[in-house]
C-alpha cells in the first residue's frame, strides 16, 4: 500500500532533463487471456517512449529504466490481482514500485519532467479509508477497506463474554431476565458507539459504514455520537455471524460509490452557487489556480476530460493560466505545461485538497469544467501571493499516515 508520505515524495519529484518515468500496469482479466499481449504492450510502450526521448537526445538515462520495466512486466502479468505503478529516474537513482487495486483505466507509460499522477489520484479518491462495522445485540466485527483491500481487524471488539450469548434467553425467565438482556444490549451498543467515535477521532478511518439488522438500527442509532453519525455513509442489512467477506466488500463498495456520487453532485451545485454569489466558490482556471496557491481550496472539481495549457515557474513552482514568459511571483522564466490538470496534482497532494473528477455535466461545462469550493475566502485582490506566504492547510497536520486519509482524490 502506498502512504501519503510516498505520494508527497512523488509529487515533489522533478527531473530537469524530463526523464521521470511513470509506468502504470493494469493486469488483463483472466477471461481474455491477454497475458502475453500485456507484455507486448509494455514493450511497445517502452519502445515508443525511447523513440521520443531519442528524438530529443535524452535517451541515455531512461534506457536502463525502460529495460527494467519491460523485464518486470513479465513478472507483473502473472499476478492478475493487483495493478502496479512504477516511478523511476535512474539519473537520480530513483525507483519506486507500488501495488494498486486492479482498477486502472489501462496500462500506460509516460516520461516527463514530473511523474504522471492522475491515475493514482483517481484511484485514491475512489478508495479513502473506510471502516465497516457489523453489529448485533452482543457482537461486533470491524473491517477496513483501503485501496480495494478489505481486512477484518481482530481484537477490537470483545463480544460481551457473559453466559448464554447466542443462546437466546436460555437460563432466564420473566421480565427481569428480558430487561437484563436489553440492558446488556444497550451497554454493548454504547461500547461500540464509543469505539467508533474514538476510531474516527484517531483517524483509524475517515468514514464508516454500518452492517446490522434493520430491527436493531433504532437502538444503535440512539447511541451514536453526532460526530460518528455525520461520518456514516450508509448501512446495509447483515447477520454479523454469517455474512461473508465478499458480501461485506460488495455492500461497502456500493454504498461508498453512491455516497461519492451524491457528494460530488452536492459540492458541484454548492460551488457553482457560491461562485455566483461571490462566496466560497470559484470557477475557471485562473481563479482556481489563484485559490489553490492561496491555500483557500477545500475541494477541487475537474472535468474528467479537462485539458488546458498553462505555464509553470521553474523557480517557485507558480502555475499561471496566462502564458507569460516571466513568473509574476518571482520573476524567473516560466515553461509551458501541456496539461494543467496534471500539473495541479502536486499542489492538490501537498495541500491535501479533496478532488473530484466530474463526468459530463452541462452546468459544469458552462463554468469552464474547473472549479473549487473554498474553506474561506482570502481578501479579494489581484496580487499573486508567493507560495511560501500561503497558509498551510490546517487539516494536513492531522492527516499523517496512510493514503486513505489523503482525502478523496477523484471519483470521490
Ligand atoms: Zn516563480
- How many angstroms does the Cα of residue 310 sit away from the middle of ligand 1? 13
pLDDT at 224: 97
Task: Work out the average pLDDT over 197-208.
Answer: 91
Least confident of 1-10, 252-261, 272-281, 318-327: 1-10
- How many angstroms does the Cα of residue 317 sit away from the middle of ligand 1? 6
- How many angstroms does the Cα of residue 392 sit away from the middle of ligand 1? 19
Task: Work out the average pLDDT over 66-77.
Answer: 84
pTM, 2 dp: 0.71
pLDDT in tens, 12-39: 898 888 889 999 998 876 555 555 577 7
Give the CA distances from residue 24 to residues 19, 38, 134, in Å, rounded to whole numbers and listed in that order.
Answer: 16, 12, 35
Q: Indicate if the pLDDT at residue 164 is higher than 70.
A: no
- How many angstroms does the Cα of residue 320 sit away from the middle of ligand 1? 10
Q: Indicate if the pLDDT at residue 330 is higher than 80.
A: yes
- How many angstroms does the Cα of residue 13 sit away from the middle of ligand 1? 17
Compute how many other C-beta atoms are within 10 angstroms of the C-beta atom of residue 23.
Answer: 29
Q: Indicate if the pLDDT at residue 46 is higher than 50.
A: yes
pLDDT at 395: 43
3-state SS track over the chain? CCEHHHHHHHHHCCCCCCCEEEEEECCCCHHHCCHHHHHHHHHHHHHHHHHHHHHCCCHHHHHHHHHHHHHHHHHHCCCCCEEEEEEEEHHHCEEEEEEEECCCCCCEEEEECCCCCHHHHHHHHHCCCEEEEEECCCCEEEEEEECCEEEEECCCCCCCCCCCCCCCCCCCCHHHHHHHHHHHHHHHHHHHHHHHHHHHHCCCCCEEEEEECHHHHHHHHHHCCHHHHHCEEEEEECCCCCCCHHHHHHHHHHHHHHHHHHHHHHHHHHHHHHHHCCCCEEECHHHHHHHHHCCCEEEEEEECCCCCCEEEECCCCCEECCCCCECCCCCCEEEEECCHHHHCHHHHHHCCCEEEEECCCHHHHHCCCEEEEECCCCCCCCCCCCHHHCCCCCCHHHHCCEHHHCCCCCCC
- How many angstroms does the Cα of residue 312 sit away from the middle of ligand 1? 8
Residue 393 main-chain phi, psi, to 5 deg:
-70, 115
- How many angstroms does the Cα of residue 156 sit away from the middle of ligand 1? 50
For residues 74 and 102, is the Cβ–Cβ distance under 8 A? no
- How many angstroms does the Cα of residue 336 sit away from the middle of ligand 1? 13
- How many angstroms does the Cα of residue 289 sit away from the middle of ligand 1? 14
pLDDT in tens, 94-105: 999 998 888 788
Work out the mean pLDDT of the chain and round it to a whole number: 82
- How many angstroms does the Cα of residue 354 sit away from the middle of ligand 1? 25
Please work out, in degrees rounded to the nearest 5, the angle formed at the alpha carbon of residue 326 by the alpha carbons of 325 and 328: 130
- How many angstroms does the Cα of residue 327 sit away from the middle of ligand 1? 5
- How many angstroms does the Cα of residue 292 sit away from the middle of ligand 1? 15
Q: Indicate if the pLDDT at residue 3 is higher than 90.
A: no
Least confident of 128-137, 178-187, 249-258, 332-341: 178-187
- How many angstroms does the Cα of residue 116 sit away from the middle of ligand 1? 22
pLDDT at 392: 45
Q: Which three cell numbers stand for residue 161?
A: 463474554
- How many angstroms does the Cα of residue 326 sit away from the middle of ligand 1? 8
pLDDT at 157: 61
pLDDT in tens, 284-316: 999 999 999 999 999 999 998 898 989 999 888
Distance CA(187)–CA(185), nearest Å, equals 5
Of residues 374 and 52, the one with the higher pLDDT is 374
What b/e sequence results for 118-138 when a residue is b if at least 16 CB atoms lie within 10 Å of its CB, and e otherwise?
bbbbbbbbbbbbbbbbbbbbb
Please work out, in degrees rounded to the nearest 5, the angle formed at the alpha carbon of residue 107 by the alpha carbons of 103 and 108: 125
Of residues 149 and 261, the one with the higher pLDDT is 261
Task: Work out the average pLDDT over 167-189.
Answer: 71
117: left (phi over 0), alpha (psi -120 to 50) or beta: alpha
- How many angstroms does the Cα of residue 384 sit away from the middle of ligand 1? 10
pLDDT at 34: 52
For residues 209 and 142, is the Cβ–Cβ distance under 8 A? no
Task: Work out the average pLDDT over 81-89.
Answer: 89
- Among residues 343, 274, 334, the alpha carbon closest in space to that of 302 is found at 343
- How many angstroms does the Cα of residue 295 sit away from the middle of ligand 1? 17
- How many angstroms does the Cα of residue 324 sit away from the middle of ligand 1? 11
Q: Indicate if the pLDDT at residue 356 is higher than 50.
A: yes
- How many angstroms does the Cα of residue 322 sit away from the middle of ligand 1? 14
Task: Work out the average pLDDT over 153-175.
Answer: 54
Of residues 141 and 390, the one with the higher pLDDT is 141
pLDDT bin (cut points 50, 70, 90) of residue 342 is: confident
- Among residues 3, 246, 260, the alpha carbon closest in space to that of 146 is found at 3
- How many angstroms does the Cα of residue 92 sit away from the middle of ligand 1? 24
Amino acid at each position: 500500500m502506498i502512504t501519503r508520505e510516498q505520494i508527497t515524495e512523488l509529487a515533489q519529484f522533478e527531473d530537469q532533463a524530463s526523464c521521470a518515468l511513470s509506468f502504470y500496469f493494469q493486469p488483463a482479466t483472466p477471461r481474455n487471456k491477454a497475458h502475453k499481449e500485456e507484455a507486448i504492450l509494455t514493450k511497445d510502450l517502452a519502445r515508443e517512449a525511447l523513440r521520443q526521448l531519442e528524438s530529443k537526445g535524452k535517451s541515455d538515462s531512461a534506457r536502463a529504466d525502460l529495460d527494467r520495466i519491460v523485464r518486470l512486466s513479465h513478472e507483473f502479468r502473472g499476478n492478475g490481482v493487483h495493478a502496479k505503478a512504477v516511478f523511476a529516474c535512474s539519473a537520480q537513482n530513483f525507483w519506486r514500485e507500488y501495488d494498486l487495486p486492479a482498477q486502472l483505466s489501462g496500462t500506460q507509460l509516460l516520461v516527463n519532467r514530473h511523474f504522471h499522477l492522475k491515475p493514482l489520484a483517481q484511484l485514491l479518491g475512489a478508495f479513502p479509508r473506510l471502516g465497516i462495522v457489523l453489529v448485533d445485540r452482543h457482537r461486533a466485527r470491524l473491517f477496513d477497506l483501503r485501496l480495494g483491500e478489505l481486512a477484518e481487524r481482530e481484537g477490537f471488539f470483545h463480544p460481551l463474554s457473559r453466559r448464554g450469548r447466542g443462546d437466546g434467553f436460555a437460563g432466564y425467565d420473566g421480565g427481569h431476565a428480558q430487561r437484563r438482556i436489553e440492558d446488556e444490549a444497550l451497554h454493548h451498543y454504547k461500547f461500540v458507539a464509543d469505539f467508533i467515535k474514538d476510531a474516527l477521532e484517531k483517524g483509524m478511518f475517515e468514514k464508516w459504514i454500518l452492517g446490522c439488522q434493520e430491527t436493531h438500527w433504532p437502538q444503535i442509532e440512539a447511541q451514536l455520537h453526532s460526530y460518528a453519525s455525520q461520518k456514516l455513509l450508509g448501512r446495509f442489512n447483515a447477520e454479523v455471524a454469517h455474512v461473508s467477506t465478499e458480501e461485506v466488500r460488495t455492500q461497502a463498495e456500493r454504498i461508498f460509490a453512491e455516497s461519492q456520487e451524491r457528494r460530488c453532485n452536492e459540492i458541484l451545485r454548492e460551488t457553482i452557487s457560491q461562485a455566483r454569489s461571490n462566496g466560497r466558490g470559484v470557477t475557471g482556471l485562473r481563479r482556481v489556480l489563484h485559490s489553490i496557491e492561496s491555500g483557500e481550496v477545500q475541494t477541487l472539481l475537474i472535468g474528467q476530460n479537462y485539458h488546458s495549457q498553462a505555464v509553470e515557474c521553474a523557480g517557485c513552482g507558480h502555475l499561471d493560466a496566462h502564458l507569460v514568459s516571466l513568473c509574476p511571483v518571482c520573476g524567473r522564466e516560466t515553461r509551458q505545461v501541456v496539461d494543467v490538470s496534471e500539473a495541479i496534482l502536486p499542489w492538490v497532494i501537498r495541500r491535501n485538497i479533496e478532488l473530484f473528477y466530474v463526468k459530463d455535466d452541462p452546468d459544469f461545462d458552462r463554468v469552464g469544467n474547473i472549479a473549487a469550493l473554498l474553506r474561506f475566502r482570502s481578501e479579494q485582490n489581484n496580487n499573486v501571493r508567493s507560495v511560501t506566504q500561503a497558509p498551510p492547510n490546517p487539516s494536513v497536520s492531522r492527516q499523517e499516515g496512510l493514503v486513505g486519509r489523503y482525502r478523496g482524490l477523484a471519483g470521490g
